[in-house]
Structure formats: C-alpha cells, structure tokens
C-alpha cells in the first residue's frame, strides 16, 4: 500500500486473507490502519506523515525500514524490490495512482523493471487495474466492474498482436509505442484471448 489519494483506494476486504502479507509504504501505512489492517513491515522516509502518525506507526508495525529522503529510489520502489525477493505468487499494489502525475507514471513504469517483469504484479485502484505482459498467449475473463480493456505498447514495436473475443478484434497486427490502436476495447464473450510475439504490453482494465 502506497500513499496515494485515499479516495482512489478500494475496500481491501476482498483482498485481506490470512496468507496475505501487507506492506505499508510511507503514508500508505496510515491507509492500511484506516482499514483496520496492520502491516507486517513498513518502508519509507515518512516525510508525508505527522509526528503523531509516525509514533503510531512505530507502535503497531512489527518492522520498519526507514530511509533518508535523499535517495536514488522511491519508497515504493524499495518496498517492491523487497517484496519480489520474498518470491510471492502475486503482488498487488494499492495507493499508487492519482495525485501527482510524476509519481503515478513512475509507479506504473516500475512494472517494466527487469526484476518486475514476469512477477505477476498488478496495480489496483477503484477505477483501474494495470498489468504488464511479455510475449505469449493469454486468456482473460470478462469483468462487469472494469469492462474497458486497453493495451499500451511499452516497447518500440509490438509484433503480431492478436485479440480474440473482443469487440474490435485484431489478427497479427504490428503496433508501436505511442500508438492508440488498442485503446478502449471490450470483451464480447465470457473469456477472451490476446497474444503477441515480441515487445512489451501494458494492459489497463477500467470503468467510467
């Protein structure tokens, strides 16, 4: 949980299971506490919390990794790299969207770090979910809560992108970074498939 605007953070009830380990990032610890979740570990320079809030964080959190504000990595980057080393089945990131555009873009682009690609990482807020894919063939299910599906090229070229089960299908199409070819599509079946043979794609699922 990062420290983005609270109004974009969904209820965590459906994500909070006994085998889930919560990590708070800076003000994200406060977001977790507001949803009655105590993180196992907290990361950050904590320059966005008050002195009272920092005392509360120290009292309830089992482990805190505190850093100086002057550093080369963001707090979220440090927390994410730590999480990857734990070899989890999946990483979900909340509180990483909205607010400052530089923070949002930097957070989204973390998904294309070499350490992150292939690690089943998803950024989630109330309106969107973001996942990055390497070449291959994938099946996705129709979701009424996020019906729009966009594919954003994150490499110079993406080759042979094919979309099946979509309102706007494609067959072995080449697209490129900066193209809006695959923006705002929809599934017309219960499941759909997409594939591509080279490049990197970011999939964004959204609702209005």
In a domain, 1, yes or no: no
pLDDT for the residue 59: 86
pLDDT at 118 over 90: no
pLDDT for the residue 142: 92
pLDDT for the residue 50: 87
Largest alpha-carbon pair distance within the chain? Answer: 57
pLDDT at 143 over 90: no
**What is the CATH number for 168?**
3.40.50.10240
Structural domains in the chain (count): 2
**pTM exceeding the 0.75 threshold for the entire prediction:** yes
State percent of the chain over pLDDT 90: 77
Q: Say yes or no: 89 and 21 in one domain.
A: yes
pLDDT for the residue 179: 95
Q: Say yes or no: 85 and 44 in one domain.
A: yes
- The set of residues, in sequence order, having a beta carbon less than 8 Å from that of 68 and lying 6+ positions away, is 45
Gap between the Cα atoms of 100 and 89, Å rounded: 30
* Domain stop point among 81, 100, 126: 126
Q: Is the separation of the CB atoms in 107 and 96 below 8 Å?
A: yes
Helix (H, G, I), strand (E, B), or coil: what is residue 14? Answer: helix
Q: What values do phi and psi take at 150, rounded to 5?
A: -125, 145
Residue 1 structure tokens: 């949980």
pLDDT for the residue 200: 96
Mean pLDDT computed over 112-120: 90
Range of the domain at 28: 6-126
Q: Say yes or no: 47 and 98 in one domain.
A: yes
Over residues 46-95, the pLDDT tens digits come to 888 888 898 888 888 888 888 877 778 899 999 999 999 999 999 999 99
Query: What's 89-124 look like in SS3?
Result: CCEEECCCCCCCHHHHHHHHHHHHCCCCCCCCEEEE
Q: Say yes or no: 33 and 14 in one domain.
A: yes
Q: Say yes or no: 99 and 158 in one domain.
A: no
Of residues 17 and 191, more confidence is placed in 191
Mean pLDDT computed over 156-178: 97
Q: Say yes or no: 115 and 144 in one domain.
A: no
Q: Is the separation of the CB atoms in 154 and 162 below 8 Å?
A: no
Q: Say yes or no: 41 and 17 in one domain.
A: yes
Q: Say yes or no: 10 and 90 in one domain.
A: yes
CA distances from 41 to 76, 81, 125, 145 (A): 13, 13, 21, 31
How many residues does this entry show for the chain?
208
Q: Say yes or no: 154 and 112 in one domain.
A: no
């Amino acid at each position: 949980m990062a420290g983005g605007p609270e109004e974009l953070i969904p209820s965590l009830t459906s994500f909070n299971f006994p085998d889930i380990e919560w990590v708070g990032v800076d003000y994200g610890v406060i977001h977790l506490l507001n949803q009655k979740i105590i993180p196992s570990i907290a990361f950050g320079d904590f320059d966005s919390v008050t002195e009272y809030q920092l005392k509360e964080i120290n009292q309830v959190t089992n482990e805190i990794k505190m850093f100086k504000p002057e550093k080369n990595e963001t707090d979220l980057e440090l927390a994410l790299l730590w999480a990857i080393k734990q070899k989890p089945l999946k990483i979900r990131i909340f509180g990483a969207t909205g607010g400052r555009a530089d923070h949002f873009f930097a957070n989204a682009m973390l998904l294309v770090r070499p350490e992150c690609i292939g690690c089943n990482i998803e950024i989630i807020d109330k309106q969107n979910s973001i996942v990055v894919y390497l070449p291959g063939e994938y099946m996705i299910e129709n979701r009424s809560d996020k019906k729009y599906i966009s594919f954003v090229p994150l490499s110079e070229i993406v080759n042979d992108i094919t979309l099946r089960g979509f309102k706007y299908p494609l067959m072995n199409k080449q697209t490129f970074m900066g193209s809006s070819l695959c923006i705002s599509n929809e599934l017309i079946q219960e499941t759909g498939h997409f594939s591509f043979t080279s490049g990197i794609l970011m999939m964004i699922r959204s609702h209005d």
